A and B are shown apart, each in its own frame.
Chain A
């Protein structure tokens, strides 16, 4: 169980106080207006922002005390998820090793995941030559390769056309169910949540309210 206990933070006269329980294999959708604090919640969970109070428990471990890089999570942003000057394979392998001198078994693993996200044969292409949907698949593949139990999605498919978006959301749903992940997706579109989320919350006045 992933439990967020009274995670408090204040910014620009708004006080945030988030509490949430996420079961294994569950997808939570978070909606809210622009500037309501959706992304602040993800930044707090990821450790980009330090809460004033509260904690984040993954089963019995308090992960809020850990640095970002040591937290058992992986994040997908809306944009800038890939390095355009690197190939698809190198972008994915960055999830495993930052030296970019991978071992054969790591390459095999990356190729297997590429197949899972539908990008088989794209290994040597530069990500700058990919479409928006394909780039997000690369980022998703890298997230999966890291094998972290928590998957955070920060409006990852905004800007994609409807067909690609639906495809990507279904892909995320299948993968997170198959891998039994704790998934939290922030979006401004309720339709996205309806498509894949088990429960939906709205950020209102700095708090999470179930929809």
Chain B
């Protein structure tokens, strides 16, 4: 019976199933190659040292602090925005908050240094106003926290804003008619609505900060502020200590696996990023309004300042010099090529995996059993392996594969970068594409079966019209994530294979800040343009 129903939907199950299988095989391959090269006996005896314990402690500590701060600020900002829904520029601010997810981390670092660094806007401003100068080192735990909170609080705020706006208006009307105070309203109406999502958003942020690389690398400042990810990078790239890198990679892999499994039950709502308009039509009390407006003003200023600084500093760069630099041109086109390829593949993978998954979650398709539940879990896990296998570990495994299979390093490098970019975007892509695909099947399956709509005709009539906006959004998201990634490329980057973030990192490392500012501006404009305008262009083209 079960096999019959699986066979009936084979064309819908097999393609995504095969992709999931290969993704799981890749995860297994990573484990295998790392374990094979670690030398089991020496590995187990030297696993727990003061250094590794220190690294684990700091990695968890900074991830925990970043998560708590991001969630608190994100919640307050989202709550304020939900209740202040008619001020000028609100839509732009919300769009900007959404784009924080795709802002290249290196650009954020660049902007933060430009504002809060030793010679940044703040110190210069204070000196100008009060003739007082002080040492303002952004490097260390403080810098790491600022950058993590900058990126993740805005992500949390955008996700939570959607949830606040999704609370049925009737609930707010009821609260108003029952004369609830703001705290009672939060406790009885808003908290129950956000608390489930808070778990998923917190676990996502914790994992992102736990495996954060570029921020810790550039703002950590000293080995005492190293995370596992950066320690792996330094072991490979600076110390050439591959056994140490393998040991750290396996420890990191072990911890992230546990974290991913622990958070598997939390339903993530990344699709929340898209805006929804459900406004509350009456205003708050004066005191609350002042609090909400102040919160929005302060946090918006803090969020926008680094971006403005990139614009202002960037405009002073010598663009003729930058644009004529051969390495820049090479980095630019390599980045575009990799981003385009990986985003096309991400969309295809997300569609196929979602198509497979919905068979196991809709009752009239494949009958539920322990076996199908297990398969469903495996497929879901296959789309999220990036959270368990960070890009640097993936890069390290590809490096080991390249040594084992004797292929040219450039091929393995490109493969590793592409693979890491696809895996990085896939969790977001799936959480955006799967819910509408599941809904479409629930709504139109019976009609499609009755009208014998299948294959391309079903896709044309039932799927595409409802999915096209999600697909364009996923493409833009994946393109931007790929464009700004400084992960695997940090291991493989050279004059032979180089991307824009890697090029920018090289400029920062050699203190060419003026050129760096110009490249950061180009990267920022490119990312924001693609993220904001590509879905719109796509939408307009469909309307014509």
Using a CB–CB cutoff of 8 Å, the interface residues on chain A facing chain B are: 46-49, 68-70, 73-75, 77-81, 83-86, 94-95, 98
Contact between B178 and A94 (Cβ–Cβ < 8 Å)? yes
- Which of B171, B178, B189 is A69 in contact with, Cβ under 8 Å? B178
Q: Does B50 contact A (CB under 8 A)?
A: no
**How far does the Cβ of B286 sit from chain A's closest Cβ, in whole Å?**
13
**How far does the Cβ of A211 sit from chain B's closest Cβ, in whole Å?**
27
Contact between B281 and A98 (Cβ–Cβ < 8 Å)? no
A99 nearest in chain B by CB position: B184
**Residues of the B chain whose Cβ atoms lie less than 8 Å from the Cβ of A69:** 176-179
Contact between B192 and A85 (Cβ–Cβ < 8 Å)? yes
**Residues of the A chain whose Cβ atoms lie less than 8 Å from the Cβ of B168:** 79-80
Contact between A79 and B170 (Cβ–Cβ < 8 Å)? yes
User: Which one of B168, B178, B184 has the highest number of Cβ atoms from chain A below 10 Å of its Cβ?
Assistant: B178
Contact between B180 and A80 (Cβ–Cβ < 8 Å)? no
Q: Does B173 contact A (CB under 8 A)?
A: yes
Given contacts A69-B176, A69-B179, is CB(A83)–CB(B188) below 8 Å? Answer: yes
Q: Does B174 contact A (CB under 8 A)?
A: yes
Contact between B170 and A98 (Cβ–Cβ < 8 Å)? no
Contact between A68 and B177 (Cβ–Cβ < 8 Å)? yes
Q: Which 8 pairs of residues, A with B, have the shortest CB-CB distance?
A: A69-B179, A80-B170, A77-B170, A80-B168, A68-B176, A98-B184, A80-B171, A85-B192
**Residues of the A chain whose Cβ atoms lie less than 8 Å from the Cβ of B192:** 83-85
A157 to B135 CA separation, bound complex (whole angstroms): 68
Contact between B177 and A75 (Cβ–Cβ < 8 Å)? yes
Q: Does B373 contact A (CB under 8 A)?
A: no
Chain B interface size range: 10 to 19
A75 to B179 CA separation, bound complex (whole angstroms): 13
Q: Does B506 contact A (CB under 8 A)?
A: no
Instruction: Name 16 extra pairs, CB < 8 A, besides A69-B178, A79-B168, A83-B188.
Output: A47-B176, A48-B173, A49-B281, A69-B177, A75-B173, A75-B174, A75-B177, A77-B170, A77-B174, A78-B170, A80-B168, A80-B170, A80-B174, A83-B189, A85-B192, A98-B181
| A-B contact number at CB 8 A | 49
**Residues of the A chain whose Cβ atoms lie less than 8 Å from the Cβ of B130:** none
Q: Does B282 contact A (CB under 8 A)?
A: yes
17 contacts between A and B (CB under 8 A): A46-B173, A47-B176, A48-B281, A48-B282, A68-B176, A69-B177, A69-B178, A75-B173, A75-B174, A77-B174, A79-B168, A83-B192, A84-B192, A85-B192, A98-B179, A98-B180, A98-B184
- Which of B173, B176, B178, B281 is A95 in contact with, Cβ under 8 Å? B178
**How far does the Cβ of B86 sit from chain A's closest Cβ, in whole Å?**
14
A46 nearest in chain B by CB position: B177
- In chain B, positions 382-431 with a C-beta closer than 8 Å to chain A are none
A183 to B218 CA separation, bound complex (whole angstroms): 67
A13 to B47 CA separation, bound complex (whole angstroms): 72
User: Which one of A47, A68, A73, A95 has the highest number of Cβ atoms from chain B below 10 Å of its Cβ?
Assistant: A68
A79 nearest in chain B by CB position: B170
A86 to B187 CA separation, bound complex (whole angstroms): 12
**Residues of the A chain whose Cβ atoms lie less than 8 Å from the Cβ of B184:** 98
A83 to B167 CA separation, bound complex (whole angstroms): 12
**Residues of the A chain whose Cβ atoms lie less than 8 Å from the Cβ of B189:** 83
Contact between A81 and B173 (Cβ–Cβ < 8 Å)? no
Given contacts A48-B281, A48-B282, A49-B281, is CB(A81)–CB(B176) below 8 Å? Answer: no
- In chain B, positions 171-209 with a C-beta closer than 8 Å to chain A are 171, 173-174, 176-181, 184, 188-189, 192
A46 to B170 CA separation, bound complex (whole angstroms): 12
**How far does the Cβ of A169 sit from chain B's closest Cβ, in whole Å?**
20
A47 to B177 CA separation, bound complex (whole angstroms): 9
**Residues of the B chain whose Cβ atoms lie less than 8 Å from the Cβ of A94:** 178, 188
A77 to B282 CA separation, bound complex (whole angstroms): 18
Given contacts A80-B168, A83-B192, is CB(A98)–CB(B173) below 8 Å? Answer: no
Contact between A74 and B177 (Cβ–Cβ < 8 Å)? yes
B191 nearest in chain A by CB position: A85
- In chain B, positions 127-151 with a C-beta closer than 8 Å to chain A are none
**How far does the Cβ of B285 sit from chain A's closest Cβ, in whole Å?**
10
Given contacts A48-B281, A48-B282, A49-B281, is CB(A81)–CB(B180) below 8 Å? Answer: no
A75 to B170 CA separation, bound complex (whole angstroms): 10
**Residues of the B chain whose Cβ atoms lie less than 8 Å from the Cβ of A47:** 176, 282
**Residues of the B chain whose Cβ atoms lie less than 8 Å from the Cβ of A81:** 170, 174
A80 to B188 CA separation, bound complex (whole angstroms): 13
**Residues of the A chain whose Cβ atoms lie less than 8 Å from the Cβ of B177:** 46, 68-69, 73-75
**Residues of the B chain whose Cβ atoms lie less than 8 Å from the Cβ of A74:** 177
A70 to B174 CA separation, bound complex (whole angstroms): 13
Contact between B188 and A77 (Cβ–Cβ < 8 Å)? no
- In chain B, positions 153-181 with a C-beta closer than 8 Å to chain A are 168, 170-171, 173-174, 176-181
**How far does the Cβ of A182 sit from chain B's closest Cβ, in whole Å?**
16
**Residues of the A chain whose Cβ atoms lie less than 8 Å from the Cβ of B188:** 83, 86, 94
**How far does the Cβ of A56 sit from chain B's closest Cβ, in whole Å?**
15
A68 to B173 CA separation, bound complex (whole angstroms): 9
**Residues of the A chain whose Cβ atoms lie less than 8 Å from the Cβ of B181:** 98
**Residues of the A chain whose Cβ atoms lie less than 8 Å from the Cβ of B281:** 48-49
Given contacts A79-B170, A80-B171, A81-B170, is CB(A48)–CB(B176) below 8 Å? Answer: yes
Contact between B173 and A77 (Cβ–Cβ < 8 Å)? yes
**Residues of the B chain whose Cβ atoms lie less than 8 Å from the Cβ of A68:** 173, 176-177, 282
**How far does the Cβ of B164 sit from chain A's closest Cβ, in whole Å?**
15
A73 to B171 CA separation, bound complex (whole angstroms): 17
**How far does the Cβ of A69 sit from chain B's closest Cβ, in whole Å?**
4
**Residues of the B chain whose Cβ atoms lie less than 8 Å from the Cβ of A75:** 173-174, 177
A80 to B7 CA separation, bound complex (whole angstroms): 42
A85 to B179 CA separation, bound complex (whole angstroms): 19
B179 nearest in chain A by CB position: A69
A79 to B181 CA separation, bound complex (whole angstroms): 22
A98 nearest in chain B by CB position: B184
User: Which one of B174, B176, B177, B178 has the highest number of Cβ atoms from chain A below 10 Å of its Cβ?
Assistant: B177
A68 to B175 CA separation, bound complex (whole angstroms): 10
**How far does the Cβ of A75 sit from chain B's closest Cβ, in whole Å?**
6
A5 to B171 CA separation, bound complex (whole angstroms): 28
**How far does the Cβ of A94 sit from chain B's closest Cβ, in whole Å?**
6
**Residues of the A chain whose Cβ atoms lie less than 8 Å from the Cβ of B173:** 46, 48, 68, 75, 77
A84 to B196 CA separation, bound complex (whole angstroms): 14
**How far does the Cβ of B163 sit from chain A's closest Cβ, in whole Å?**
15
User: Which one of B168, B173, B176, B282 has the highest number of Cβ atoms from chain A below 10 Å of its Cβ?
Assistant: B173
**How far does the Cβ of B129 sit from chain A's closest Cβ, in whole Å?**
45
**How far does the Cβ of B471 sit from chain A's closest Cβ, in whole Å?**
31
**How far does the Cβ of A28 sit from chain B's closest Cβ, in whole Å?**
19
**How far does the Cβ of A12 sit from chain B's closest Cβ, in whole Å?**
14
A49 to B282 CA separation, bound complex (whole angstroms): 7
**How far does the Cβ of B157 sit from chain A's closest Cβ, in whole Å?**
25
Mask of B457-469 contacts with A, CB within 8 angstroms, 1/0: 0000000000000
